[in-house]
Structure 1
Amino acid sequence: MKFFYALIFLSLFSCFETTRNCSDYKTGEYYSEVTINGELFKSKFKRTDDLQVETYNNKIDSSSLRWINDCEVVFKTINPKNMAERKDIHLKILTTTDSSYTYEYSYVGETQKQKGIAYRVK
C-alpha cells in the first residue's frame, strides 16, 4: 500500500519539473525586476560571454563574468567606487521560459539571497 501512495505522489509531482535552459541566457539584452523590502527595482543590461554592462537609475556599471556552469555566474565590478561594489555577486538561474528567467543572487559568501526575473529584450 505504501508503494501505491508513493507512486501516486511521484506521478503528481513529476509533472512540475522546472525548465532550465540556462545556456540560452548567457548572452543577450535584458531588463530585470527585483523586489526588495516591497520596493521594485528595474535595470537594463547587455551581456556577452565575459562582460555585462548594466544601466540602473541612469548610471552605467560594468562587470566581468566568470561562469561556474551554464546556470551559475560570478560578477566582479570592473571599476568599484566603494567597498560594497568590491564584493563579488553570485547569481544562479532557477527556471527559464522562452523569454525570461528567474534567478537568485547574493554577495559571495553570504547566505541571504534575493530573487528576481530577467526578461529578454532582443
Structure 2
Amino acid sequence: MIKKILLPACILLLIIACKTPERDCNAFKTGEFSYEELIDGVLVTTRFTRNDTLEVAYFNEVVDSSSVRWINDCEWIVQKINPKSMSEEKAVHMKILYTEGEFYTFEYSLVGKTKKQRGTAKKLN
C-alpha cells in the first residue's frame, strides 16, 4: 500500500522540483517599470522607463538617465550619462533570472565585480 502511494508522490515531487522557471526576457526589454528597495529601514520606490538604448529613472524627485547596451535578450549594461561622482561612473551589469506575469527577478553588480545583489521589478504598462 505504501509503495503504491510513495512512488507516484516521489515522481510528482521530482517533476515539480525540476520545473524550469519562466524567462521571457523580451517582454521586459522596454517599457515602464517600478522597483522597491529597503534603504536604511525605509521602503523606497524607483520608477523607470527603458527602451533599447536609454533608461530614465525617477527616484525621490530626481531624474537620472543612463545608457543601455544589450549583451543578449536577458542581460544589459547600464551606465549613467551624466555621473555626479566617481561611484556613479561605474557601469552596472543587469541580468534577468526569471519572469512571472508582470514581474521579473534580476541580479546586478558593478561590471567586473563578483558581489551580486537581487531585486524584483514590476512592469507597469
**Paired position in structure 2 for 1:13:** 17
C-alpha contact 1:32 1:119 (8 A) present in aligned 2: yes
Q: 1:68 aligns with which of 61, 67, 71?
A: 71
After TM superposition, give the deviation of residue 61 of structure 1 in Å.
0.6
- State the alpha-carbon separation in 2 of the partners of residues 101 and 11 from structure 1: 23
Q: Does 1:43 align with 2:46?
A: yes
CA-atom RMSD, angstroms?
1.9
**Paired position in structure 1 for 2:55:** 52
Q: Structure 1 counterpart of 2:107, which letter?
A: E
**Paired position in structure 1 for 2:84:** 81
User: What is the TM-score with the length of structure 1 in the denominator?
Assistant: 0.85
C-alpha contact 1:74 1:90 (8 A) present in aligned 2: yes
**How many equivalent residue pairs?**
116
**Paired position in structure 2 for 1:114:** 117
**Paired position in structure 2 for 1:25:** 28
- State the alpha-carbon separation in 2 of the partners of residues 110 and 39 from structure 1: 27
C-alpha contact 1:65 1:74 (8 A) present in aligned 2: yes
The percentage of aligned residue pairs carrying the same residue is: 46
- 5+ residue gaps in structure 1? 1-6
Q: Deviation string for 1:52-105 (max 9, x for gaps)?
A: 000111111100100001110100110011001100000110110121101111
